Amino acid sequence: MLNLSGNDYVKVVVGIAVFGLFAAIPLFVTADYILYVLSVSAVMAIIAIGLNITNGYVGLLNLAVGGLVATGSYITAIMLLRGMPMPLAIFGAIIGGGVLAAIIFLIFARLRGFFFGLATIAAAEVIRLLIRNVDDVTNGVRGLRGYSRLTDSSATTYWILLIIVGLVLLVVGAMVRSTLGLRWRAIRENRDKALSMGIPVLRLQFIGYVISGMIMAFGGGLYGVLLQYIEPDIAGLGTLVQAILMVALGGAGTILGPVIGAIAITMIPEVLRVANDLRLVIYGLTLIVVVLALPGGIMGSISRYIRTRRRPLASQRPGVPG
């Protein structure tokens, strides 16, 4: 059962207002390229939300992002090329991501911390090599293309992806606010203490890892459909670094942080195109400055600021010791 405070309701209202503003963008912006970049931001937000479950709430260092995203992309593309409908192809990606995540976790469940993260990177690399070498199914290094689009309209595609982001946020937010989310955070803060309290740590970590994998594969399937071309390097370090930056920049362990991080990581390079050759340098320096200035991410720093502002006010209330 969800327990929402007055502040939570304010956040919901603000979230609905922001969602409405983003939904109104196609009414004023008709450029296909801008809508395409915004659609990419929405897809990357889904992937970052999935990663945030393990790295932000469960306390697992999940670095198999590329492998899970690539699995979703390839399953979707292969099913579409074989004439299956889009909803069934996306559903296949979600199931495939969940199965792969379950296998990875069960193989490396005995490892902890940094060693678990290294093992998951190795798993993603194995997936990349499999994609490269199973030519009959994946077309090898040539990649896959020629499958159907989500829609033929940039605006409609953006609206559909925006709605999906909203639904994923609602589902993840409900889980985080539930007893399951409370136990996840207990494991994240102190695994041994959670064990001593009778919390089934491995089982709850398994659930979190599988849900995370399903969401990231879901995002991967949508990403492949949006790009209209996928190749093995989608399972490489580039996808991993991008997803980790989104979670870290927006704020790990927050609901909206990954979405804000995804928008920033996707949009900033486009805004900096006017700088030509210096674009990537400015982009990198901007990320370094933001990470150093806001170690808890954008949303984490905002939440911390609000909490520190409330404490002096609370101490001034009648009957509350200063």
| 243-284 pLDDT tens trace | 988 888 888 888 888 998 899 888 877 777 766 666 667 767
Alpha carbon distance 25, 7 (integer Å): 28
Alpha carbon distance 208, 172 (integer Å): 11
Higher pLDDT, 224 or 11: 224
If you average pLDDT over residues 181-195, what whole number do you get? Answer: 91
Q: What is the CATH number of the domain that holds 110?
A: 1.10.3470
Percent of the chain's residues with pLDDT above 90: 52
pLDDT at 20 over 60: yes
Per the prediction, the chain carries an average pLDDT of: 86
Percent of the chain's residues with pLDDT above 70: 85
The confidence score (pLDDT) of residue 316 equals 56
Instruction: Tell me if 172 sits within 8 A of 11, measured CB to CB.
Output: no
Q: For residue 277, is it within any domain?
A: yes
If you average pLDDT over residues 163-175, what whole number do you get? Answer: 94
The confidence score (pLDDT) of residue 306 equals 65
Which residues span the domain enclosing 311?
A: 6-315
Alpha carbon distance 304, 112 (integer Å): 29
The confidence score (pLDDT) of residue 6 equals 53
Higher pLDDT, 177 or 298: 177
Q: For residue 322, is it within any domain?
A: no
Count the domains in the chain: 1
The confidence score (pLDDT) of residue 310 equals 61
The confidence score (pLDDT) of residue 322 equals 45
What pLDDT band is residue 159 in, cutting at 50, 70 and 90?
very high
Q: For residue 320, is it within any domain?
A: no
pLDDT digits (tens, 9 = 90+) for 81-123: 999 999 999 999 999 999 999 999 999 999 988 899 999 999 9
Q: For residue 218, is it within any domain?
A: yes
Q: For residue 122, is it within any domain?
A: yes
Q: For residue 321, is it within any domain?
A: no
What pLDDT band is residue 1 in, cutting at 50, 70 and 90?
very low
The confidence score (pLDDT) of residue 278 equals 66
Q: For residue 176, is it within any domain?
A: yes
What pLDDT band is residue 312 in, cutting at 50, 70 and 90?
low
- Compute CA distances 269 → 69, 228, 277, whole Å: 22, 21, 12
pTM: 0.88
Q: For residue 22, is it within any domain?
A: yes
pLDDT digits (tens, 9 = 90+) for 230-240: 999 899 888 88
List the single range of 33-47, 251-265, 284-298 with lowest mean pLDDT. 284-298
